[in-house]
Structure 1
Amino acid sequence: MTYVKATAVLPEALIQEIQKYVQGETIYIPKPDQTHHRWGTRSGSRKVIDERNASIKSEFKKGTAIHELAEEHFLSTETIKKIIYSK
């Protein structure tokens, strides 16, 4: 996260209004909900993990044991259980 000086991006009137509530502090202004992306959607990581999880569920349905899946995917057995039993 980078910091931006308020004087560089906000009108003076707005800065004065904000100063009624906060002075000399760092505040975080979140993005609007409609611009928020789920983790990994931009980089493609989300797709890779979703595909991996689908593969794990499929292998489990075919009879592969949980401990085998954990070893194959380098995950804990508890993580494999969470993936298998999630909706």
Structure 2
Amino acid sequence: MGYKNGKDILPPSLLKQLQDYISGEIIYIPKKEKTRAGWGENNGTRLTIQRRNNEIYRLYENGSTVPELIQKYHLSEDSIRKIIVKTRGTAVRQN
């Protein structure tokens, strides 16, 4: 987030109108809602976790036990079980 001088970027009529509300102070103007990225979309974290979860489910379906998955992925038993249930639900809907 960068600082911009309103005098340099706003039309004079809008600048004058804003000065009626707030003058000489810093104001934050948020992005439009449709331009905001969802959690983990810009840096690839969402995709990385989705791939990991799919791999956990695939290994479970191919015979890996929950304790083995806990050891391999360093996640709690509750997390592993939630991933399996959620991914199973997603896999059923895709078929």
TM range (shorter): 0.5 to 0.7
User: Which stretches in structure 2 are left out of the alignment for 5+ residues?
Assistant: 90-95
Name the structure with the higher helix share. Answer: 2
Count of residue pairs the alignment pairs up: 87
How many angstroms does 1:30 deviate by? 2.0
Provide, for residues 28-85 of structure 1, a one-character-per-residue CA deviation record: whole Å limited to 9, x for no partner: 2222233222233333332222111111122233343333323212333333333233
**How far apart are the structure 2 equivalents of 1:34 and 1:69?**
38
Same amino acid, percent of matched pairs: 37
Cross-structure match for 2:70 = 70
The CA RMSD over aligned residues, in Å, is: 2.5
Give the TM-score normalised by structure 1: 0.67
Matches within 5 A, 1:1-87: 1-86=1-86, 87=89
Assess, with a 3 A threshold, how the Cα gap between structure 1 residues 53 and 13 changes in structure 2: closer, same or farther. same
Q: Given the two structures, how large is their TM-score scaled by the length of structure 2? A: 0.63
Larger Rg: 2
Displaced runs of 4 or more, over 6 A: none
